[in-house]
Amino acid sequence: MTDFEAIEKILAYAGAAGRASLSEPEVYEVLTLAGLAAPAHLLFSAASLDPAAAATQTCAKLAGDKTVLKLVSSKTLHKTESGGVKVLEKTPAGLEEALRAMAAKFPEAEGFMAVEFLPHSAFALGEELLLGARSDDAFGPVLTLGPGGTNAEALTRSLRPGVSPSVIPVDLAFNSGAWKTFLAHNWVWKYAAGEVRGGRRLVQDGELMKWLEGFSRLMKHFRDGGDSDWAIEEFEINPLAAARGHLTALDGVLRFRKARKGGPRVKPSKAGVHGLLHTRTAAVVGVSEKKMNMARIILNNIVKAGFPKERTYIIKEGVAEIDGVKCFASPAALPEKVDMYVVAVPSPEVPRVLAEAGESGKVNGVVLISGGMGEKAGSEDVGRAVVDSIAAARAKNPDFALSGGNSLGIVLNAEKINTLFIPEYKLEHPIGANPYGARTAFVSQSGAFVISTISKMPWLKPAYSVTVGNQQDVTVPDYVERLAEEEDLKVILVYMEGFKPGDGLALAKVIEKARSKGKLVVLYKAGRTAVGQKAVMGHTASIAGDYLVTRLIMENAGALVAETFDDFNDLAALACSFGGWPVKHGNTFFMSNAGFEAAGMADGVAGKITADMSQALAGEMAKTLKEFKLDSIVDAKNPLDITPMGPDAAIGGVLKAALACDEFSGALVAMVPLTPAMNTLPKGDKWPDDLEKSFLKGAAEAARAACKPLLFCVAAGSIYEPYCAYAQSLGLPVFRSSDRAVKVYRQYLEYILG
């Protein structure tokens, strides 16, 4: 059992001395009190050091032929690099000489330690681990396990991202099977556990579990909002050495601070968020009757989207109606409760407008378009007034919820409501349906990200497009939590910039819930710099920076994490095109009419993607090639270069055979459209092409019938944009280079297949 009371006293003693970190002997004491192994050691005060007596005592009390001498100093951060760690033969004369030399070199030393030497290799993978834990505002305490030693950072940087380290939030660690999964996916533990070729087991799983659970208990107790007055900010053991069948801490760093009190944020009610996602009545504040200002653009977009005028209201005094929509002097005068109360007024007016809305009792949900409330210098008072208005409104109406501020608006396809403040001539209304796409929600902290994505992907018609802004009340995880409950929703696209306290953990939980229901979640997390890293911090912070922690936790929860904006768009296209389709394996059929494309696709075959084909299927395809007199110039194989001589009928015939066969889970077709043998331009007077005669329609129908992904690549210039748009109208994701398509599809398959 962990003696929390005794550890509390150690932290209080160090804190009273003005320290924010413990000395190494104090770290060893904390470990011992937590039931974890520290090496046998002796501590000698620098002020009363007698090198000869200390050497004699060390030889008498510490086992082994060698001893480690260590400097104890709060002013020397990196003891090994500065010469503050020496491994010596255990002889009185040698130890005495080394102690005298170390005392002379470090006059600022508080003391010196003699530590039992544990025989192990610092160069054999698995014999030195790094076990770290740190406090994280978004996720709570987080544990990290990776390779240890002085080269821990360099080794981790040399590995493929995601291989090491492993990361787990303490609050998720005790879920069923969490530790087992954590160990199973830890790269360096495979070496310690003897699970690599030629390896031998150094310690049992239970030995590491003791450390993981011990660290978890410490971090759960000494955390913000907990029972203790102190919070552990960072706790790192490096190395945690595997020796004699046990794990022992050979060095330790523990940084702490006063714990921040207070519980988690007050979340909006389910009903409040539900009203913003399933709006029956709407009102707009800030509409001008004289000019087309932001609020009037929103009003026009609501009306043009098809939302009923009789359930749309304007809050404006002294005017009867604007653009056929009735005006009311105040929210209190509204004839019914409003689910979506869109506020687009100058920021100084926002507190008054929100106070009136809350006092009226007739407003359930607010979409706050206005910005500049707490997120910019000088607006702190306005920001606090907004927070106060939310609290006052919720006291009167528990279902009051505010989305924003700095929101760009919300689009609800089923309700036919569009509150984006973008005029129609700048962006086609995102209301409508893609008959071949999966039902999708798009939840983004950035409104610009949503409209930019939809502008580039006009076929994308999300059932929900929610721009959340600065999350002053409703946050991205709040929306995703509600959307995860909708059975017919297949894909959730998420863009995050920053988390409110605890919201990283909340998002991970709702993503896990969504995946358990068969939904696909594509996530882009902005903010890649590890803001919390400082030069004085240990390996844990630099190895497991803020973004890496977020990425690993979200991937483990079940998110498909995009590294770039282009990746997000492409992965979103695959998810929206194929969401809900079962993919049994990664064997894929590849076809092009150009040698370089076929070679590029072949080079991309790796990981979950294979390109196998049986002789029987090759024989079937050969019949089609012979029918179109292509058998003399090309063999049936995978990837297949059907050459520029291949017409649409031949391409379609081969492709239908591939899609109908259980050998392939999907297909990727890359066409250079300049060949006269194919129909790649819209029907016109100056050329014989007709897109309706291309292979695309029949191929798309065959793919849908088989529920198999079909990716299309067009390696040509802008003249072929209609060709791309035609393919997209049939529900096919379109790429402009085959190597890019293979790369993205490989990531998608790894996500789907696990």
Each residue of 517-542: pLDDT tens digit? 999 999 999 876 543 333 223 333 44
CA 311 – CA 560 distance, rounded (Å): 39
Q: Supply 663's token pair.
A: 């050998």
Question: Does pLDDT of 546 surpass 80?
Answer: no
Instruction: Output the pLDDT for position 540.
Output: 37
Q: Residue 114 — very low, low, confident or very high, per pLDDT cuts 50/70/90?
A: very high
Q: How far apart are CA 573 and CA 523, in angstroms?
A: 13
Stronger pLDDT, 120 or 9, i.e. the higher one: 9
The predicted pLDDT at position 530 comes to: 44
pLDDT the model gives residue 263: 78
Going by pLDDT thresholds of 50, 70 and 90, the confidence category of residue 378 is low
Angstrom distance (rounded) from CA 99 to CA 113 = 10
pLDDT exceeds cutoff 70 at 627: yes
* Dist CA 751 CA 571 (whole Å): 10
Name the architecture of domain 588-753. 3-Layer(aba) Sandwich (3.40)
Residue-level pLDDT at 181: 87
Helix (H, G, I), strand (E, B) or coil at 119: coil
The pLDDT tens digits of the residues spanning 407-424 come to: 999 999 999 999 999 998
Average of per-residue pLDDT values in the chain: 91
The rounded distance, in Å, linking the Cα atoms of 544 and 542 is 6
Using a 10 angstrom Cβ sphere, with 0-12 exposed, 13-18 middle and 19 or more buried, the burial of residue 704 is: middle
Place of tokens 């929600």: 441
- C-alpha to C-alpha distance for 16 and 8, rounded to whole angstroms: 12
For 220-231, write each residue's pLDDT tens digit.
Answer: 999 999 889 999
Per-residue pLDDT reduced to its tens digit, 320-363: 999 999 999 999 999 999 999 999 999 999 999 999 999 999 99
Residue 278 burial by Cβ neighbours in a 10 Å radius (0-12, 13-18, 19+): middle
What is d(CA 15, CA 258) in angstroms, rounded to the nearest whole number?
9
How crowded is residue 119: how many other Cβ atoms within 10 Å of its Cβ? Answer: 10
- Can you tell me the mean pLDDT for 280-298? 96
Element (H, E) at 236: strand 230-243
Query: Residue 202 corresponds to which amino acid?
Result: L
Q: Which of 593, 673, 667, 604 is nearest to 633 (CA)?
A: 593
Query: Distance between CA 414 and CA 127 in Å, rounded?
Result: 58
- Cα separation of 214 and 196, whole Å? 27
Confidence of residue 377 (pLDDT cuts 50, 70, 90): low
The answer to whether residues 650 and 628 touch, using CB atoms and an 8 Å cutoff, is yes
Q: Per CATH, which fold does 40-117 belong to? A: Dna Ligase; domain 1 (3.30.1490)
- pLDDT classification of 80: cutoffs 50, 70, 90: confident
Q: How many residues does the chain have?
A: 754
Q: Residue 284: is it exposed, middle or buried by C-beta count within 10 angstroms (0-12/13-18/19+)?
A: buried
Class of domain 128-258: alpha beta
Would you place residue 367 in the very low, low, confident or very high pLDDT band (cuts 50, 70, 90)?
Answer: very high
Distance CA 63, CA 117 (A): 8
| Residue 484 to residues 172, 276, 455, 662, Cα–Cα distance (Å) | 19, 15, 26, 32
**Closest Cα to residue 329, out of 338, 339, 321?**
321
Architecture of the domain made up of 264-407: 3-Layer(aba) Sandwich (3.40)
Residue 348 is given by DSSP the state: G
Answer whether the bond into residue 165 is a cis peptide, omega within 30°.
Answer: yes
- pLDDT value at 69 more than 70: yes
Q: Among residues 427, 444, 438, 552, which one has the least CA distance to residue 493?
A: 444
Q: How far is CA 638 from each of CA 258, 442, 605, 698, rounded to the nearest angstrom? A: 63, 37, 11, 21
Q: What is the pLDDT of residues 551-597, one digit of tens each?
A: 989 999 999 999 999 999 999 999 999 998 999 999 999 999 999 99
**Domain positions in the chain:** 40-117, 128-258, 264-407, 433-580, 588-753
Q: Which of 191-195, 378-382, 429-433 has the highest mean pLDDT?
A: 191-195
Q: How many CB atoms lie within 10 A of CB 270?
A: 14
Backbone φ, ψ for residue 479 (5° rounding): -70, -45
Residue where the block lists tokens 């056929």: 324
Is residue 429 within 8 Å of 416, Cβ to Cβ? Answer: no
In the predicted structure, residue 14 carries a pLDDT above the cut 70? yes
For the segment 647-652, the average pLDDT, to the nearest whole number, is: 97
Q: What pLDDT is attached to residue 520?
A: 97
| 433-580 and 264-407 share a CATH fold | yes
The residues with which 522 forms a beta bridge, in sequence order, are: 493, 560
Region 163-188: what's the mean pLDDT?
Answer: 86
190 pLDDT tier (thresholds 50, 70, 90): very high
Which superfamily is assigned to 433-580 in CATH?
Succinyl-CoA synthetase domains (3.40.50.261)
Identify whether the C-beta of residue 566 lies closer than 8 Å to the C-beta of residue 535: no
Q: What percent of the chain has pLDDT over 90?
A: 79
pLDDT band at 268 (very low <50, low <70, confident <90, very high): very high
Amino acid at the residue 691: L
